């Protein structure tokens, strides 16, 4: 049945969508974006034997980028697409995205939305609609009973949308995507701030993230950091980020929340002190820039 249905596929891109724990491939030689990935069929049809590639078990799910020249070089295409006629479709995209967020990114709905990504018009509208709803992601993650699964599903979707440099750049310029991402991180962390040092004077204003809170212990922040890292991997977007003084100032204000987040008091009387593991929150966030 699958082969029969594929015979009607006339798109110039593969666009196959997979769920978590599916084997896929990433070729650094053919890839333009570091998040590029291709399905097993497209990988084996292409000549990647002398390339820098790796096979991986997808943790968050994904979609095949074969045929998308904004993500991978054309000499890596090997799924032999047919010429596609112009498609006309009507979609309740805003409604779909609203309920996708509301019900914590159901896997079948995410796959349904991603399955149509080979249509470039649709991809543009889906990305813009996703960005307009992006500030709701922290609220959904904070209230989720299973933030780990939800995080994987958010990234499953966002990595397909933000890996396209031209599209990401348009979202930054017209929808203030970088501002939305930084503000979303700041709003999430502002709810878990404590005084920097318990023994500091009451007048001390410096407040840091409390690593004992659920948001930190269950890594609810990582989809936001992952998306920020993905978007800044595009040179044109990174340059816009560095040229915006207000945005850079906002980013450093956020980083100040991480300064002194793990305050350790050393007891000199102990013969052998054991240093607890340092939280990796700062490492993860700084990797974005």
Our count of domains for the chain comes to: 1
pLDDT at 263 over 50: yes
Q: What is the Cα–Cα distance from 81 to 173, expressed in whole angstroms?
A: 33
Give the 3-state secondary structure of residue 216.
Answer: helix
What single-letter DSSP state applies at residue 66? Answer: T
Confirm whether 56 is domain-assigned.
yes
- Left if phi > 0, otherwise alpha if psi is -120 to 50, otherwise beta: which for 61? left
- 167 found inside a domain: no
The secondary element (H helix, E strand) that includes residue 23 is: strand 23-27
CATH of the domain at 9: 2.10.110.30
- Mean pLDDT on 205-211: 78
For the chain, give the mean pLDDT: 79
Residue 64 lies in a domain: yes
Residue 228, in any domain of the structure: no
- Residue at 107 is within a domain: no
Contact 82, 88 (CB under 8 A): no
pLDDT at 200: 56
Please check whether residue 24 lies inside any domain of the structure. yes
Residue 288 has pLDDT above 90, yes or no: no
Q: Does a structural domain hold residue 34?
A: yes
> Model confidence at 278, in pLDDT bands (50, 70, 90)?
very low
More confident residue, 86 or 132: 132
In a domain, residue 96? The reply is no
pLDDT digits 0-9 by tens, 145-154: 999 999 999 9
Asked if pLDDT for residue 143 goes beyond 50, the answer is yes
- CA geometry: angle 177, 181, 185, nearest 5 deg: 170
Domain that holds residue 1: 1-85
Dihedral sign, Cα of residue 278, residue 284, residue 287, residue 288: negative
- Of 52, 55, 20, which Cα lies nearest the Cα of 39? 55
């Amino acid at each position: 049945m699958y082969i029969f249905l594929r015979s009607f596929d006339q798109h110039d891109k593969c666009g196959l969508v997979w769920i978590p724990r599916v084997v896929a491939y990433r070729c650094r030689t053919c890839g333009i974006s570091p998040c590029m990935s291709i399905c097993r069929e497209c990988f084996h049809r292409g000549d990647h034997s002398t390339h820098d590639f790796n096979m991986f078990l997808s943790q968050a799910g994904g979609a095949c980028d074969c045929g998308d020249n904004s993500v991978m070089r054309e000499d890596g295409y090997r799924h032999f697409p047919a010429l596609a006629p112009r498609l006309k479709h009507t979609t309740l995209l805003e409604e779909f995205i609203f309920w996708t967020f509301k019900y914590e990114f159901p896997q079948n709905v995410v796959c349904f939305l991603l399955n149509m990504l080979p249509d470039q018009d649709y991809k543009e509208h889906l990305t813009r609609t996703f960005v307009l709803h992006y500030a709701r992601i922290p609220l959904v993650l904070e209230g989720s009973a299973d933030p780990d699964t939800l995080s994987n599903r958010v990234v499953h979707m966002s990595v397909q949308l933000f890996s396209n440099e031209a599209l990401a750049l348009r979202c930054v310029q017209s929808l203030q995507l970088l501002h939305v991402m930084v503000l979303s991180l700041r709003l999430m962390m502002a709810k878990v701030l404590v005084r920097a040092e318990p023994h500091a004077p009451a007048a001390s204003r410096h407040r840091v993230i409390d690593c004992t809170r659920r948001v930190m212990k269950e890594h609810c922040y990582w989809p936001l950091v992952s998306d920020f890292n993905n978007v800044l991997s595009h040179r044109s977007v990174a340059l816009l980020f560095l040229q915006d003084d207000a945005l850079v100032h906002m980013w450093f204000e956020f980083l100040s929340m991480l300064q002194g987040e793990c305050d350790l008091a050393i007891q000199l009387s102990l013969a052998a002190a054991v240093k607890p593991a340092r939280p990796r929150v700062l490492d993860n966030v700084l990797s974005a820039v």
